[in-house]
Structure 1
């Protein structure tokens, strides 16, 4: 049986995303191998999508085209737009970005910037990739397009050009908005495009912390400590549950694993680990 067929059969049989690495597909054998965090039934918001980057082969897909809220996975697109702007010469990598009162007022997660502050482009990239700072996301959008609304419209237009047909942005951060939607398949594609089209910036997504004004700013992606994992982005709002796009190398292959709708960060991460363990 092909790997994708096994995955779908297991998901239908036990409502859990597991498969090829495990012997058979019985509920008992699967549950006995699973951590407690992944024994609970999947939430209604759950979706998963896994692609072998080298071949483009879809290894796993479950509700991957169902509409979901991206939460801070949005910042992958914000960064894609910033990288586009740097490459096009619209902004210099050594430039600074002003912070407006509007941007400074964004709720956490944030860097704690004040109106009138200036931050370097390099710091902005780190703050978005590592800290998922909402104030920085708004500042980047305003600086590049004059307003966050205009930036979000440009994000959506660029997403369409990149083939993200089910994704729409209304803000630069992923803060709650019913109009800001995506799918697990689209987020997987975006993760792959970031590492291929903007390869030289991809190492930012591997960073677990950075220093800002003498403070150590730590990130939210605890999977970066796992073998083979080298990126890329987490996200959470109440409506979405806990989301993640993860890049992992196993032997000669690289995979991008997207899991959305986790009930907790720990449960989401354990499901990703189960998926990674199954990859061959």
Structure 2
């Protein structure tokens, strides 16, 4: 049996170009090699930054959620504005109510306050501050939605064909997706196009007020040659990391998406670096690997808008409703952000499933009228009614008998001019029945909470 497992492991490793150590870093042993693809969030790539050659790849072109790797593009456009003179590092970045309301991690600047562009940059590369990302987006794009269209247009100009951005920070949005290959392309572009600003990514920590903010990238200072770039995490994406590494003449950019823990992701990245950096070319090709598009103000954005959602279709900035709480935090500790003592609203849970190829592929459930009384359980909330209904459909299928007598429905509320859709199941006679249904759902790993109509 041992010889059989060893043979299977060797054949699988050969086909995937993975070493046993790399598999072990992912929690995959010789006994589990056949199920190595069980983690549907995982994708990875290693690219020789001198030649552009792909040294290693696994699901590199599959759609994945970027989480805070999104901020790499936010910084690309910020560096572009600095290079063109539209901004200075001393320019002020004002925080709107929308920016100040972003959930942690954040700097915590109050609405109406401001910081310098340099402070905003440092807060993105170290603390991954969501409020700073939104503030930069509103400064450069006029609005968060406008900046997201600029981000996607820039991605197309850089050859990132599998990426769509809908916000500047990477907080959950089901329409925002990327690929490992695209993130590697962006990592190479940041180093090639903005060498004068690239050193920001190697910042180990910086001080803001009385806070000392450490970089989330734990490979800095741990793995020789690592000089950036960015970490990211949401429950939907798993643990992400893009790394740029050089040993003098050689340079690679590696991306790991969908790690199950921060530690396993870091260990896997370290193994990829040890395995593939020595095999990278020592000779630099002529010209940039990633064509440098013109500055946003001069680039053919209008010609690209046919590829992008129209202004009316683009998501609006998402003020956080006071009663709607975000069960998500972009930190390595994966904390839950809560406001007040209420149960968290489960916005992020609606985005935990694999990315659908098209929203039309989803068969939304027919929903009942909003109950006038009684108890309900809430399973999600979304600014899109289609998404809320789709989540009800998915929950119904997963729940089985737990919701046999419940009626799915959506109900709306507005906050800051934005309409949200709560996804709920009604028909419970009392609080105890609703709580029991929630307990049954949680045993199936479906989050929910009870609410009285």
TM-score scaled by length of structure 1: 0.88
How far apart are 1:15 and its partner, in Å? Answer: 9.3
Partner of 1:102: 98
CA pair 32-79 structure 1, distance change in 2 beyond 3 A: closer
How far apart are 1:33 and its partner, in Å? Answer: 9.4
CA pair 15-259 structure 1, distance change in 2 beyond 3 A: farther
Structure 2 residue matching 1:248: 3-state secondary structure: strand
Q: Please, which moves more after superposition, 245-254 or 196-205?
A: 245-254
On the 8 A contact 1:11/1:17 being kept in 2, the answer is: no
1:108-127 matches, within 5 Å, as: 108-127=104-123
- Distance in 2 between residues matched to 1:270 and 1:68, nearest whole Å: 20
On the 8 A contact 2:26/2:259 being kept in 1, the answer is: no
- Distance in 2 between residues matched to 1:138 and 1:80, nearest whole Å: 14
- Distance in 1 between residues matched to 2:115 and 2:65, nearest whole Å: 29
Partner of 1:240: 237
Residue 70 (structure 1) aligned with residue 66 (structure 2): yes
Residue 51 (structure 1) aligned with residue 41 (structure 2): no
Partner of 2:164: 168
How far apart are 1:214 and its partner, in Å? Answer: 2.7
On the 8 A contact 1:170/1:179 being kept in 2, the answer is: yes
- Residue by residue over 1:114-157, the C-alpha shift from the partner in whole angstroms, topping out at 9 and shown as x without a partner, is 10111001100001111110000000001111110100011101
- Distance in 2 between residues matched to 1:247 and 1:132, nearest whole Å: 18
Partner of 1:272: 269
Structure 2 residue matching 1:274: 3-state secondary structure: helix
- Distance in 1 between residues matched to 2:155 and 2:267, nearest whole Å: 30
Partner of 1:22: none
- Distance in 2 between residues matched to 1:127 and 1:31, nearest whole Å: 34
Partner of 1:257: 254
1:1-280 matches, within 5 Å, as: 12-13=12-13, 18-19=18-19, 30=20, 34=24, 37=27, 39=29, 41=36, 43-225=39-221, 226-250=223-247, 252-279=249-276, 280=278
- Distance in 1 between residues matched to 2:120 and 2:21, nearest whole Å: 43
CA pair 82-34 structure 1, distance change in 2 beyond 3 A: same
Please identify the structure whose Cα radius of gyration is greater: 2
Cα-Cα RMSD? 2.1
Report 1 or 2 for greater relative contact order, CA contacts < 8 Å, sequence distance ≥ 6: 1
- Distance in 1 between residues matched to 2:41 and 2:267, nearest whole Å: 17
On the 8 A contact 1:48/1:61 being kept in 2, the answer is: yes
- Residue by residue over 1:23-44, the C-alpha shift from the partner in whole angstroms, topping out at 9 and shown as x without a partner, is xxxxxxx369945856474521
- Distance in 2 between residues matched to 1:92 and 1:272, nearest whole Å: 35
Structure 2 residue matching 1:92: 3-state secondary structure: coil
CA pair 33-176 structure 1, distance change in 2 beyond 3 A: closer
Unaligned residue ranges in structure 2 (runs of 5+): 1-8, 279-453
On the 8 A contact 1:10/1:16 being kept in 2, the answer is: no
How far apart are 1:250 and its partner, in Å? Answer: 3.2
Number of matched pairs:
262
Q: Please, which moves more after superposition, 175-184 or 242-251?
A: 242-251
CA pair 118-184 structure 1, distance change in 2 beyond 3 A: same
How far apart are 1:172 and its partner, in Å? Answer: 0.4
CA pair 126-38 structure 1, distance change in 2 beyond 3 A: farther
Structure 2 residue matching 1:126: 3-state secondary structure: helix
CA pair 122-10 structure 1, distance change in 2 beyond 3 A: farther
Structure 1 residue matching 2:171: 3-state secondary structure: coil
On the 8 A contact 2:25/2:265 being kept in 1, the answer is: no
